[in-house]
Amino acid sequence: MYGVPDELDPVIHAPARLRVVAALAALGRGDEVAFPKLRKLLDMTAGNLSTHLRKLEDAGYVRVTKTHEGRMPATYLALTDTGRTAFADYQAALMDLLKGAHG
């Protein structure tokens, strides 16, 4: 049987990042969500969410778009195609792991 670290993407596997990726994966391809809305949905502090988003962005899984609405800065988040593929691979590896545990 294989070990978790080799099969499950460590970038996604952290619980907070898994929640972020799952929430963004629920959006349609090309759709994005405002940072405050995602923060509220996940009940995370702005600093904690920012830290996890940075890791996901560095991995190429999340696209962060900073803009302005009037004079107010706004940040929008979306899962990239790479992120969608990584999440699908993560889900498949997790299912394989769970099947192996029961087999």
Higher-confidence position of 18 and 100: 18
Residue-wise pLDDT for 42-86, tens only, equals 999 999 999 999 999 999 999 999 999 999 999 999 999 999 999
pLDDT score at 37: 98
Q: What Rg do the C-alpha atoms of the chain give, in angstroms? A: 15
Compute the average pLDDT of residues 87-97. Answer: 92
Cα-Cα-Cα-Cα dihedral sign, residues 8, 10, 14, 17: negative
